[in-house]
Structure 1
Amino acid sequence: MSRIGYRRLVAVALVTGIGLTGAACSNSKKDDSGSKTSAASAGTPLDPKTKVTISADCEPPTTEKAQRSEWIADVAAFHKLYPNVTVKSKDAYPCEDPAKFTAQLQAGTETNTFYTYYTDLQQVLDSGQAADISDYVNAKTVPNLASIDPSVLNVLKDGGKLYGLPTSNYKMGLIYNRKIFKEAGLDPNSPPTTWDEVRQDAKVISDKLGSKGISGYMDNSAGNQGGWHLVSEMNGVGVRAVSEDGTKATFNDPGTKQVLQTLHDMRWTDKSMPATPGLVWGDVQKAMGTGKIGMYVGAPDDVTTEVQQYHANYDDLGMGPIPGGKIALMGGNDYMFKKSDSPDQIKAGIAWINFEFLTVSKGQFNYPRKKADGLPVGLPEPFFFTGTAQDQDNQGKAASATIPVDNFKAYSGVDVPVLAEPPNAQKVYTVLDTVMSGVLTNKNADLDKLLSTATDQVNQLLAASS
C-alpha cells in the first residue's frame, strides 16, 4: 500500500473519540523559532566539512525490498557529498501513525527531520515542535525552490513562515477502467468530464454489463472516506467546503446539492452504483482492481494499489480530470524539522530532503533505477514542479515509463487549479460522511436537511477550534 494511501486509511484515527462539542483547542502557538541563528548564516548551505548527525524517518520497510535498497543507496550517495554527515534512518511503516505521531510530538521524541502530512501543520505548531526554516531555504540550499508550485509551499506556511518541504502530492481525479469502457461501447480515450457525462456513462456500463456484476460508478459513505470524496466532488464544481479564513462551512451550496442529487439518481433511479457503498479506504480500490466498477473519484497512487494488491493491469486503467474541472483537492506529504535541532542539523536535514526528494533525476526521481528495480514509472505524481524542472521531470519519466502514460493524458494534460484540504479536515470529513451515507443508503434522503445539519455541525467544530 502506498504511503499516501495509508494516510487515507488511518485518517479516521485522528478523530476517533473526539466529539464535536469537545473543549476548544488553543489557537496560540508555542515558541517555534528553533535554534537561534542569524538569517545570513542560516541561508548558507551546509559546509561538507561540518560534522553532524541527524535522524530521519520514513525509511521504506524491509518488505519493500526495492524501495529499501534505493533508500540505502541514496543515503550512501549523500554521504559521499557530505562525508561528515551521518543520517540515521528510522524504519517506520506506516510513515505516520496518528496516535503514535501525537505521542511523539507531546514527548518531543520525533526524529530531527520528520515526516508529516500536509494537514498536520497546525498540530505540529500547537505542540511547539516545529522549527521555522524560512531563513534556511533559498535557491542555494534548494536549487529547484523557484520551480516548486507556490500553492504547495503555501500549505507548509503559517504567518508567512515556512515549516516544511514537500516530498509528494496528489490531486483528485476520475479513475476509470478502460477495458470496461471498451466493452460497454464507450471511448476509453474520452473519460467523462462533467457529472452529467459521468451519470450517462455509468448508466451505459451498468445497462450493458450489469449482468456480469459490473456497476458503472462507486462512491464512499463512511470512515472519513465519504466526506473526503464529497469535498473532492464539490471542489470539482467550484465549491469550497470551508471559507478561506477557515471560520465557517460553505458547502451548503447549489453546486454541492447538484452533485448529491446526481449521486442519488445514479444510485436509486439508474441503479448504476452498487447497493453497498464503500465503507472504508480500500473498498472502491478493490472493486476497481477486480473489474467490478467502471469509475470512481480518486488519486493516481490508487492505481498502483489496484495493480499490486488486486492484480489489475496498468493497460486497463486510466484517469481523467475531476468532474467539473473547476478545482482539484490536493493532499500530500512533507518533512518538517524539530524545534530543538541545531542550525547544522536543520541544514543537514534540508540537504538530505533536497537530495532525496527535490532534485530532478536523483532520489525519488531516478526513473531508470526505478524501472530496473521493477517499480512503476509514469504515474502523474508527484506534480509539485513547474517550469523547466517540470519539463525535465516529465521527459525523464516518459523515457523510463513502465506504464502506459497516455492512459493518464486526460488527467495530466488538463490544468485544474488545486486546493489544499480544509482546516480541521478529518473532523469535517467525519461530519460529511453522514451526508454521503444518507444519499447512498436512503432513497428518500432529504438533501436540504442533510446539508443544513452538517453545516451546523461543522460551524460548531470550527468555532471550537478557533
Structure 2
Amino acid sequence: MKALSSLSRTGAALLAALSLVTPSLAQKKIKLVVWGLQSGKETAGLDAQIAEFEKRNPEITVSNLSMGAGNMNPQKLMTAIVGGVPPDVISQDRFTIGDWASRGTFMPLDEFLATETGPEPVKAENYYPAAWNEALYQGKVYAIPTGIDDRMLMYNRKLFREAGLDPDRPPKTWDELRDYAKKLTKVNADKTYASIGFIPNFGNSWFYIYSWMNGGSFMSPDGKTCTLAAPENVTAMTFMKQLYDDLGGYDKVNVYQSGFQSGELDPFFTGKVAMVINGDWMLGNVARYAPDLDFAIAPPPSPKERIAHTGRFANDKDDHITWTGGFSLAIPKGTQHPKEAWKFIQFLSSIEGYRIYNQAQKEYNEKIGRPYVFRLSANKAVNAMMFREFSPESARLQTALKAYIDMLPHARYRPVTFIGQKLWDAHVRAMERACQGAQAPEASLQEQQSLVQKELDKSFARESLPLFNWTPPVVVLSILGLLGLGYGAWRGQQQVGKSRMAKQEALAGWLMAAPWILGFLVFTLGPILTSLMLAFTDYDVLHPARAVGVGNFKELFTDDRELLGKAIGNATYLSVFGIPLGMVTGLAIALLLNQKVKGMNFYRTAFYIPSIVPAIASAVLWVWLLAGDPNKGLLNALWKETLTAWFGIAPPGWFGVPEWAKPGLIVQGLWGAGGGMILWLAGLQGVPQSLNEAALIDGANVWQRFRNVTLPLLSPYIFFNLIMGTIGALQEFDRVYVIGGGDGGTGPLDSLLVPVLYLFNNAFRYFKMGYASAIAWVIFVIILCLTLVQWRLQKYWVHYEVDKK
C-alpha cells in the first residue's frame, strides 16, 4: 500500500508538471482563420481590433491571412471549401455574395441575427439599404456589410477658372458635362492631350452609373430576365460614346489614359484630368499627395430630364443618383467555429470596434507623418461616430466627406444574382465595343444581353438535368486501360524474348521508369480522362455534375462562336506573325554569336539572360516599356523624340488599342529570342565545315552557301521550332493575363483574348468547369491536327543527315 501511495503521489506530481508545460484540451485555444482582410505593416487599425478581440476572448486566437479572397480571387476560396478546410471568416466583395450564396458556399446568418441583443445589435435598419440588400440572396442574409463607398464628381477649381468656368458651379446635367469637358480639354501642337476635361470611364464610374442616372436597369425584379439592352441603357451608352467622340475618340483617349499613374502622379492631382467620377477613397490620397489641391465635390451629373428644378444642388434622390460597392464579412459553410466567427464579425462591425480601428490607424499615420482620412462604413451610426471623432482638420476634406455620406441613402447597387460576374463582364464588353465604334450601342447591348440571358435560362433549367452517371465511362475507360496494359505487356514480352539477361534488363528499366509512369497515370492521365468526362457535363465543382451530352460543344460553336473565333483568331495572328519573327530573330542572333571573336561567351550570356526572366516579371516590365502615352512608355517617348519630331508619325497605342495589342505582345516575345538562339547555335555548329568549303570552291557566295547548305541542314531545327511555336501560341496565357489586367482582362475589344485565357475565365470566373473542359479538348484537337499536318508535310522540306525510312 505504501508503494502504491508513493506511486500515486509520483504520478500526480508528473501530471501537475505536465499541465504546466502542455495546456489541457479544455484550455487549448480556438484558432479562428480569417481570409481577405488586408494584413501588412500599415494595418495598425486592424491589428488593434484583432488584439482587442483576442483580449476580450482569451479562448480565441485569430489567424489573419490576406489570401486575396476579398479581392475577388475565387480560386483559393473554392479549393478550400471543396477540400473541406474553409476559413472561418472571409472578407468578400458584396457584389459576389449572391453568386457564392447561390452555390451553397456561405452560411446564412439569419439564426444569429434573430438572437441579437445588447446595445449594438446587428440589424438591417442600422445599415444603408444598398449595402444591406446587396448582402441578401433569396431573402436570407449571407454577409454583414463593413466598408462602403459611393461615387461623386471631383473637379479641379483652378482648371475651371483657367477655362473661364465658374468654380462654384459644376456641371449638373449631361449636356453641361459635355460642354465643360470640351472647354477643359487642351491639346498640344502635335495633337496629343495636354490635359483632358473628363473621361467617361476613368476613375470609378463604369456604365452602371450612366444607366441608373437615366432610369435604366440590368435585371428584372425577379432576377430571371436580363435587361441590359433596355431603351434607357441604349440612351446612356449613346451618351458615353458621344462624350468620347467629342474628345477625339475612344482609342485616342484610351492611349492617353494608358499613361496615367497613381499616388502623387495621379492625373487628377497633376492637372491632366479636370473632372473625374471617383469614390471616397480618393480623399485620403488628396490629403496625402495633394493637400493644396483646389478641388470640390458634386453629385454626378444626370440627364436633363431627371433634374428636378428645385433650386437645390445635391441631396434629393430625384435630382442625382450614385452607386455603391464595398466589402462584407461572411462565414463559409463547413467552418468548425461558426459561433466564434459570428462573435468576431459582431466586434468588427460594432461602433466600438470601428473606434478602436480608427484610433490606432490615426495614431500610426501621425507617427509616420501621414494625414488620416477615415473610410466610410455601411453602418450609419458608425459613420456618424467617425465624422464626429475622426474628421480631418481640413474644412475642404470635411465638406467632401459629408457630401459622400449624404449621397449614400440614394445609392444604387449591382444586381444580386448568381451570374453577377458574367453580367459585369458583359456590360464592360458592350461598353467598350460601343464607345470604340465597333458596334452601335443598341447592337452591342443586345448581343451581350442575349448571351447573359442564355446563361440565366440554362442555370434555371439546371435542376431538371439528370445527374451525370460516372459508372459507364469509368468502366469503359478502365477496360480500355487494362487492354492497353495487356497489349503493352504482350509487346514487351515479344521484344524481350526468353533471354534471362534481357528480362532482367527490362525489369530494371521498368523499375527505373516506375516513378515517372506512376506520376503520369495519377497526376496527368487521370486529370486528362476526368476532363474528358466533364466536357459532357454541367459542373461547377461545388455541386454534383449533371449530364448535358454535347451541349457544351454546341454552345461553344453557336452562342459563343464569336468569342471562340476571336480567341483562335488571336492565337492564329500570334502564330503567323510571331513564330516566323521569333525564328528569324533567334537565327540571326545565333549567326552573329557563331563567330570566333573575343568576348563571345559574354555576348552569348547577355542574349540568353532575357529568356530566363520569369514570364510575369517580363510582362510587367513590357507593360511599362510599351505604355501608349509617351509620358510613361519608354519606347513611345523615344518614338516621339525621333519619328514624331522628324516625320510627324504618331506613336502607336500598343496595349491600349486593339490594332497594336497583339504586335506589342509579339515585340515583347522577341526580347526572349535568346532561348531559341541556343538551339540555332547548336544547329549551326553541327553544320559540317567541309560542305561550306566545297561550296566556296564551287564559287558560291555567302547567301548561296547559307541558302543551299546551312538552311537545309537546319531544317530539323526549323521544324522543331515551328511545332513548339504553334503549341506555345495556342497555349499562351501568363503574359496576356498580366497585360490584360490580371483579372480575366482580355485587352481592348478582346484583342488579347486567347484560347487558354478564355478557358481560364470560364473555369475560375464563371465556375463553368464542364464548359472549360470542352474548351480544353477543342484546343487539344486543334493542336493535334496542326501537329499532324506539319508532321506529314515535313518529308517535303525537312532534310536529315541520315534519310528517315
Aligned equivalents of 1:441, 1:180: Cα separation in 2: 28
User: 1:108 aligns to what?
Assistant: 84
Aligned-partner Cα distance in 2 for 1:292–1:72: 37
Counterpart of 1:301, as a letter, is W
Which of 121, 128, 131 is the matching residue for 1:143?
121
Corresponding residue for 1:36?
A: none
**Superposed CA RMSD:** 3.7
Residue 66 (structure 1) aligned with residue 42 (structure 2):
yes
For residues 370 and 401 of structure 1, the distance between their equivalents in structure 2, rounded to whole angstroms, comes to 19
Match for 2:45: what amino acid?
A: E
Structure 1 residues 241 and 290 mapped into 2: Cα distance closer, same or farther (>3 Å)? farther
CA–CA distance in structure 2, aligned partners of residues 412 and 188 of structure 1: 22
* SS in structure 1 at match of 2:326: strand
Q: Deviations over 1:13-66 (max 9, x none)?
A: xxxxxxxxxxxxxxxxxxxxxxxxxxxxxxxxxxxx99643111234333xx23
**1:335 CA displacement:** 1.2
Write the letter of the residue equivalent to 2:459: S
Contact 2:277 2:300 in 1 (8 A): yes
3-state DSSP of counterpart to 1:185: coil
Aligned pair 1:277/2:277, yes or no? Answer: no
C-alpha distance 375-201 of structure 1, shift in aligned 2 (>3 A)? same
Question: Bigger shift: 321-330 or 362-371?
Answer: 362-371
Amino acid at match of 2:52: A
- 1:59 to 1:263, Cα distance in 2 relative to 1, 3 A: closer
Q: Which residue of 2 aligns with 1:90?
A: 65
Cross-structure match for 1:323: 301
Q: 1:247 to 1:173 in 2, by over 3 A?
A: farther
Of all paired residues, the percent bearing the same amino acid is: 20
Counterpart among 419, 426, 440 of residue 421 in structure 2: 426
Q: Which moved more, 1:273-282 or 1:98-107?
A: 273-282
Match of 2:198 in 1: 217
Q: SS where residue 247 of structure 1 aligns? A: coil
Q: Does 1:352 align with 2:344?
A: yes
**1:35-54 superposed matches below 5 A:** 52-54=30-32
Asked if 1 retains the 8 angstrom alpha-carbon contact of 2:159 and 2:274, the reply is yes
Report the AA paired with residue 48 of structure 2: A
Code of the aligned partner of 1:450: S
CA distance in 1, matches of 2:357, 2:338: 21
Deviation digits for residues 134-158 of structure 1 (CA, Å, limit 9, x no counterpart) = 1213243853534222442222223
Change (3 A) 1:371 1:317: farther
For residues 172-227 of structure 1, what are the alpha-carbon distances to aligned partners after superposition, in whole Å with 9 as ceiling and x for unaligned? 33333344334333344443232122112111101599986111111349xxx99x
Closer, same or farther in 2 for the Cα pair 1:273/1:304, shift >3 Å?
Answer: farther
Deviation at 1:384, TM superposition (A): 1.8
CA distance in 1, matches of 2:322, 2:261: 19
Whole-angstrom CA distance in 1 between matches of 2:297 and 2:420:
25
Pairs within 5 Å for 1:168-317: 168-206=147-185, 213-220=194-201, 229-269=206-246, 271=248, 275-277=252-254, 286-302=266-282, 304=284, 311-313=289-291, 315-317=293-295
Per the normalisation by structure 1, the TM-score is: 0.73
1:306, 1:312 within 8 Å by CA — same for their partners in 2? Answer: yes
Which residue of structure 1 aligns with residue 434 of structure 2?
439
- Stretches of structure 2 that go unaligned for 5 or more consecutive residues are 1-26, 303-318, 461-805
* Structure 1 residue 382, shift from structure 2 partner: 2.2
Cα distance in 2 for residues equivalent to 1:399 and 1:254: 43
CA shift, 1:233, in A, is 1.6
Q: Aligned equivalents of 2:198 and 2:261: distance in 1?
A: 9
Could you list the runs of 5+ residues in structure 1 that have no partner in the other structure?
A: 1-48
Q: 2:410 aligns with which of 417, 421, 431?
A: 417
Greater share of helix: 2
Correspondences of 1:386-401 after superposition (within 5 Å): 386=380, 388-398=381-391
Distance 1:340 1:447, change over 3 A: closer
Secondary structure in structure 2 of the residue aligned to 1:214:
strand
Tell me the residue number matched to 1:19. none
Deviation at 1:292, TM superposition (A): 1.6
2:325 partner amino acid: G
Retained in 2: the 8 A contact 1:191–1:410? no
CA displacement, residues 294-325 of structure 1 (integer Å, 9 cap, x when unaligned) = 223332225556887xx555734543223325
Q: Does the 8 Å contact 2:331/2:338 carry over to 1?
A: yes
The worse-fitting range, judged by mean Cα deviation, of 119-128 and 234-243 is 119-128
SS at structure 2 position matched to 1:219 = strand
Match of 1:450 among 414, 434, 444: 444
Q: Alpha carbons of 1:450 and 1:66: their partners in 2 closer, same or farther (altered >3 Å)?
A: closer
CA distance in 2, matches of 1:251, 1:279: 29
1:343-395, CA deviations, whole angstroms, 9 ceiling, x for partnerless residues?
Answer: xx33322332333343255244437436535565446x424223x54432321
- Aligned amino acid, residue 156 of structure 1: A
Alignment of 1:340 onto 2:307: no
Change (3 A) 1:382 1:440: same
CA distance in 1, matches of 2:217, 2:126: 27
For the Cα contact (< 8 Å) 1:114–1:336, is it kept in 2?
yes
CA distance in 2, matches of 1:98, 1:281: 27
- Counterpart CA distance in 2 for 1:318 and 1:272 is 28
Deviation digits for residues 120-140 of structure 1, max 9, x if unmatched? 223433443322221213243
CA distance in 1, matches of 2:363, 2:287: 20
* Number of residue pairs the alignment of both structures matches: 404
Q: 1:102 to 1:339 in 2, by over 3 A?
A: closer
2:397 to 397, 400, 404: 404
Once the 2 structures are TM-superposed, how far is the Cα of residue 234 of structure 1 from its aligned partner? Answer: 0.7
The structure with the largest strand share of the pair is 1
Output the CA distance in 2 between the equivalents of 1:135 and 1:259: 42
The answer on whether the counterparts of 2:152 and 2:298 sit within 8 Å (CA) in structure 1 is yes
The structure 2 residue matched to 1:158, chosen from 124, 127, 137, is 137
Structure possessing the higher radius of gyration over alpha carbons: 2
Q: 1:281 to 1:73 in 2, by over 3 A?
A: farther
The separation in 2 between residues aligned to 1:452 and 1:284, in whole angstroms, is 35
Higher RCO (C-alpha under 8 Å, 6+ residues apart) = 1
The change in CA–CA distance for 1:273 and 1:197 in structure 2 (over 3 A counts) is: farther
Does structure 2 retain, via aligned residues, the 8 Å contact 1:371–1:402?
Answer: no
Tell me: CA distance 1:251–1:110, structure 2 relative to 1, closer, same or farther (3 Å).
Answer: same
Distance 1:99 1:307 in 2: 36
Contact 2:240/2:435 (8 A) holds in 1? yes
Match of 1:122 in 2: 98
Q: Is the 8 A contact 2:132 2:144 kept in 1?
A: yes
Aligned to 1:18: none
Structure 1 match to 2:794: none
Measured in 2, the distance between the counterparts of 1:72 and 1:82 equals: 15
Q: Identify if the C-alpha distance between structure 1 residues 340 and 458 changes in structure 2 by more than 3 Å, giving closer, same or farther.
A: closer
CA distance in 1 between counterparts of 2:430 and 2:261 reads: 18
Quote how far apart the aligned CAs of 1:77 are: 1.7
**Cα gap change, 1:336 to 1:375, in 2 (>3 Å):** farther
Alpha-carbon distance in 1 for matches of 2:401, 2:170 = 10
Bigger CA drift: 230-239 or 272-281?
272-281
